[in-house]
Amino acid sequence: MSHKKFEGKVAIVTGAGSGIGFEIARQFLQEGAQVVINDLNEALIYEAHQRLGSPDSCVPVAGDAGSIPVINKMVKTAIDHYDRLDISVANAGITSYGAFLDFSERQFDDLVNLNLKGSYFLAQKSVQQMIRQKTAGRIILMSSVTGILSHPFLIAYGMTKAAIRNLTQNLVIEVAPYGITVNAIAPGAVATERTLAMDPEYEQVWGSLIPTGRVSTPADIARVVLFLSSENSAQINGQTITVDGGITTLCAIPPDIDDPNK
């Protein structure tokens, strides 16, 4: 029997009820990890737990990933069930569209609470546990291409995702001495249940703009998460890996520009 890459490792994955988070959890389980999965929607996370089909290697924790008591519960659940914590993936986040002039305080606070506070304190509580264990570890945060490039009606969201890039870099100074690496992923357009429900033409429209000719899938993002969580990435630290098919390499081009080869 071949050795699985994450046998003996324990991971927390937030926002795992569907989409990218679900796929991250699925791939971790496939590679032998034990996983604590979280989602705000209780029915969804318990359904995800059943779909994952690994009841002995997976424990659901429902609740707001921006809440410190819920974060503490996730870490405690990992210890109570599996005696350790090696990897935390702060995948949970919300996208809130709105024009700058009309964006409400409530929308702003909701974004900051989950996207920033949730990421910051999951990292903090996870690192504290890893230090207590005296083991190395991996923290994976979720940024976005909107933290790199402007996007209409996503100013506040993009701001939180740019902050995640900065958090990723700054955490390195304090946690690297403990053998813990911190990296982030900046996905571009990803075909998930949510994005496809919002726009049935999502894949076609965005795929036509992306150099690789398609949008990313949750599996594309999850594979990078697993790489950054593995020993193969031990010397990658404080980096944000963009997974977007190359769209952030492009600049605006006039539609009538001449081809120099013609």
Mean pLDDT lowest among 35-49, 80-94, 238-252: 238-252
Has residue 4 been placed in a domain? no
Helix (H) or strand (E) holding 184: strand 180-187
Has residue 20 been placed in a domain? yes
Number of domains in the chain: 1
CATH code of the domain in which 169 resides? 3.40.50.720
Q: What is the CA radius of gyration of the chain?
A: 19
Q: Model confidence at 251, in pLDDT bands (50, 70, 90)?
A: confident
133 or 1, greater pLDDT: 133
Has residue 132 been placed in a domain? yes
Q: Is the pTM of this model over 0.85?
A: yes
So what's the pLDDT on residue 186?
A: 98
Has residue 148 been placed in a domain? yes
Has residue 184 been placed in a domain? yes
Has residue 261 been placed in a domain? no
Domain span at 227: 10-191+218-243
Q: Model confidence at 198, in pLDDT bands (50, 70, 90)?
A: confident
Q: Between the CA atoms of 131, 134, 138 and 140, what dihedral angle is there, to the nearest 10 degrees?
A: -20
157 is catalytic: yes
Considering the candidates 97, 157, 178, 202, report the single residue annotated as catalytic: 157
